[in-house]
Amino acid sequence: VILIYPIYIQVKGAMKSHDFSNKTEFGIQKEAERYTWVGYMLFVLISSLIGDTTILVASIRYKAFKLHSCIVAIIRHIAVCDLMVSLSGALPRVITLIADSWVLGEWFCSRP
């Protein structure tokens, strides 16, 4: 299986369903590479949380945007969608990379 982020392409046979290590999931072979990915994903997650929360608080509580209400609503929706993508996409990847295996169970598994 070749991982073209986030699409899987079958190359030789089917991937074994019991193999959930980072070596098969992300193609990571070295610890240094795993630590680099953890740092990058944490940066993405934290910056997304801080940025989107700031936008939502500024637009809802302080009415900081002096734009048309329709544009402000679109900005809020984009911030909420980005928060949902960060929490449902980046957070499980960070947890998986830190634990070096899939620990979130079958319910949160995103494999088809």
Indicate the helix (H) or strand (E) that contains 2. strand 2-4
Per-residue CA distances from 7 to 4, 25, 83, 112 (Å): 5, 11, 22, 11
Residue with tokens 């957070």: 91
Q: What is the pLDDT of residue 46?
A: 96
Regions of the chain where pLDDT drops below 50: 1-16, 112
Q: What is the pTM of this model?
A: 0.71
Residue with tokens 């953890």: 38
Structure tokens belonging to residue 75: 């900005």
Q: What is the pLDDT of residue 110?
A: 56
Q: What is the pLDDT of residue 22?
A: 64
Q: What is the pLDDT of residue 4?
A: 43
Q: What is the pLDDT of residue 68?
A: 94
